[in-house]
Amino acid sequence: MGDSLSHLPQQLANGLTLGAVYALIALGYSLVYGVLRLLNFAHGEVYMVGAFIGYGVLSLLDPALAAGLPGWLGLTAMLLAAMLGCGLLGALIERLVYRPLRHTHRLAPLLGALGIAFVLQHGVLLLASARHRAIHAELILPAALGFELGSVRLSAARLLVIGIALLLLAALSLLVYRTRMGRALRAIGADPEAAAMLGVPVERVVSQTFVLGSALAGAAGVLVGLVFTKVWHLMGVAAGLKGFTAAVLGGIGSLPGALLGGLLLGIAESVSTGVISPTYSDLIVFGVLIVALLVRPSGLFGKRAQPKV
Amino acid sequence: MSLLMCDQLTMAFGGLQVLRGLSFAVEPGQIVALIGPNGAGKTTALNLISGLGRPTSGAIRLEGRSIAGLAPAAISQLGVARNFQSLRLFLNMSVLENMTAVGYRRARTNTLQAVLWTPAFRRDAALWRARAEELLGLFGSRLGPHRYDQPAYSLSYANRRRLEIARALMTRPKLLLLDEPAAGMNPHETDELAALIAALPRRFGLAILLIEHDMGLVERVADQVIVLDHGAAIAVGSFAEVTADHQVIAAYLGQSARAAPDEPPEEEAP
């Protein structure tokens, strides 16, 4: 035990990386939920597709990188392709599945989401087989690169994940709190009917919300690929569940909540893996969630549910 | 051509007949008041005009074009805006955000330009904000600059009503629907509001269809008054004309409805 405790600072640092990724995924859940009160359970699969797009771009660029293309350009290409691809995928899912189901039974969009999740998993399975694909992150970031503070070591990949995640979070909060689209998005979340009657283009803003959330998931997929150096077609299942958990822990619908929930979950997972046991880490993480929800049923930043008049 | 034309509107919710052949018109620049006892169908009529529901039968025409059953967003785009009797502000957003969130179909720049923060976008945003400030300025210091960044939930009841009117004007409507805009205001505030409402048609080139229980306000602003009872118009004319009508007096004071005309409407606490 004493030996495990000495890993604590390192596990905290690792947890920060994991947490940044969970936060990016959780933001997608929270954005969509905040606007539509819809749980987009295909979100984890969009993240998985993002990881595969990153893998594909890296494979394409492999010769160019070997020939001296700077690594940061390769990374930018991976991120842009994944964010763009996933953004489009998100808009497509919304248009083809959620929009037609929006005013039907409450459970229909949820089942539609599960259906889309299977379609994406098996689509990727068909295209890429069930093999784990290795991401050669060293093509982009020399493995030796990194940063050390006492016994704690953060690799360049981990630092990059945290940095890019923070950058995207900042960009998102600017968009949501400082632009017309963000105001429209919050107005629809508050009262879609009143917003529509006042000329807010609800369908367009909903599409844009899916593009945003899905692009963040795509970025998260690329970043995870760089840290854990492999991608496979079922990687979205656990990550989607953790991202959703982080969103609920923070208070679903709340953007600061998604960030905090993601970081807490990542750190809890990392610390319980390193200090207690990898076998029990999920048990501990979800145990923490249950306790947190018993104490604060609407999450850390969530508002108390108010009865509708 | 009339700006708004309602022809033989009927609306039934299950077995409950709320409107029974309601017909009336609103001319450009006019202020028309719909009055009547509680349950006469006034708000239902307003809801149908703004696209909340489709009439069971009958026609609604805006500048000759049928709008019955169109989506609220489409009707907003054709130039109809409204406030809500029950107040539907975006409570967690600031006063200015409530104003600038709406009606931006008319904006000339898109989200990409917003993200890139282009000069065209900044110009557009500045114009939009200037318009919001101008409209809030209609209420003088009540919604003055010190309130711009306050969240809507912190506003008083009367200020919430004012903000809803200003917000509706952001969409540049041809027809403004006002559902009990003076509810919850004291006599002095109601007076102030009456002066403002009376000035709106000329200033913004719009017509107003108004539901109001405060007869003083109706008398001051309405060019024409339509009295509803049991879902149909029982009198149409100037305020003086309809208040002299014995059918109207019977509707208000008779057995069919006990509500006095100036009784405050039922409202939840702010």
Note whether A199 contacts B76, CB cutoff 8 Å. yes
Q: How far, in Å, CA of A23 to CA of A27, rounded?
A: 6
DSSP sequence for A136-199: -GGGTS-TT-EEEETTEEEEHHHHHHHHHHHHHHHHHHHHHHHSHHHHHHHHHHH-HHHHHHTT
Residue-wise pLDDT for B55-95, tens only, equals 999 999 999 999 998 999 899 999 999 999 889 999 999 99
Query: Residues 196-215, chain A: which have Cβ within 8 Å of B?
Result: 196-202, 208
Residue B151 has pLDDT above 80, yes or no: yes
Of B231, B229, B212, the residue nearest B9 (C-alpha): B231
Nearest to B93 among A180, A187, A199 (CB): A187
Residue B267 has pLDDT above 60, yes or no: no
Q: Are strands B224-229 and B232-237 parallel, antiparallel or unpaired?
A: antiparallel
Nearest to B101 among A187, A196, A197 (CB): A187
Q: What is the pLDDT of residue A303?
A: 67
Q: Which residues contact A84 (CB under 8 A, 6 or more apart)?
A: A215, A218
Give the gap in angstroms from C-alpha A266 to the nearest C-alpha of chain B. Answer: 30
Q: What average pLDDT score do residues B113-119 get?
A: 76
Among the residue ranges A90-94, A298-302, B11-15, B104-108, the one predicted with the least confidence is: B104-108
Residue B258 has pLDDT above 50, yes or no: no
Quick one: tokens of A50? 């993002």
Residue B256 pLDDT class (50, 70, 90 cuts): very low
Q: What is the pLDDT of residue B185?
A: 92
Q: Where are the beta strands (DSSP E) in chain B?
A: 4-13, 16-26, 31-35, 57-62, 65-66, 80-82, 175-179, 207-211, 224-229, 232-237
Q: What is the pLDDT of residue A130?
A: 83
Residues of A in contact with B127 (CB under 8 A): none
Mean pLDDT of chain A: 88
Count of pairs with CB atoms under 8 A, one residue in A, one in B: 90
Residue-wise pLDDT for A181-233, tens only, equals 899 999 999 999 999 999 888 888 999 999 999 999 999 999 999 888 889 99
The domains of chain A are located at 2-237
Q: How far, in Å, CA of A189 to CA of A204, rounded?
A: 14
Contact B163, B84 (CB under 8 A): no
Q: Are strands B4-13 and B57-62 parallel, antiparallel or unpaired?
A: antiparallel
Give the gap in angstroms from C-alpha B257 to the nearest C-alpha of chain A. Answer: 26
User: What percentage of chain B exceeds 90 in pLDDT?
Assistant: 66
- Residue B27, judged by CB atoms within 10 A of its CB (0-12, 13-18, 19+), counts as middle
Q: How far, in Å, CA of B258 to CA of B245, rounded?
A: 18
Q: What is the pLDDT of residue B106?
A: 58
Residue-wise pLDDT for A96-106, tens only, equals 999 999 888 88
SS3 B6: strand
Note whether B76 contacts A197, CB cutoff 8 Å. yes
Q: How far, in Å, CA of B51 to CA of A104, rounded?
A: 19
Give the gap in angstroms from C-alpha B60 to the nearest C-alpha of chain A. Answer: 17
Residue-wise pLDDT for A14-56, tens only, equals 899 999 999 999 999 999 999 988 889 999 999 999 999 999 9
Quick one: tokens of A205? 């803003």
Residue B263 pLDDT class (50, 70, 90 cuts): very low
> For chain A, what's the residue count?
309
Note whether B103 contacts A200, CB cutoff 8 Å. yes
Nearest to B101 among A183, A197, A208 (CB): A183
Nearest to A198 among B76, B107, B128 (CB): B76
Instruction: Tell whether pTM > 0.90.
Output: no
Q: What is the pLDDT of residue A180?
A: 83
> Phi-psi region for residue B87, left (φ > 0), alpha (ψ -120 to 50) or beta?
left
Q: Which residue, chain included where needed, has tokens 């604590």?
A: A8
ipTM confidence: 0.83
Find the closest chain B residue to A303 by CA distance.
B92
Amino acid at A52: F
Q: What average pLDDT score do residues B107-116 get?
A: 70
CA B148-B153-B155 angle, 5° bins: 60
Residue-wise pLDDT for B21-49, tens only, equals 999 999 999 999 999 988 889 999 999 99
Of B198, B192, B126, the residue nearest B158 (C-alpha): B192
What letter would DSSP give residue A105? -
Residue B257 pLDDT class (50, 70, 90 cuts): very low
Q: What is the pLDDT of residue A307?
A: 42
Q: What is the pLDDT of residue A306?
A: 46
Residues of A in contact with B46 (CB under 8 A): none
Note whether B100 contacts A175, CB cutoff 8 Å. no
Q: Which helix (H) or strand (E) covers residue A226, if one does?
A: helix A202-228
Find the closest chain A residue to B70 by CA distance.
A197
Residue A309 has pLDDT above 70, yes or no: no
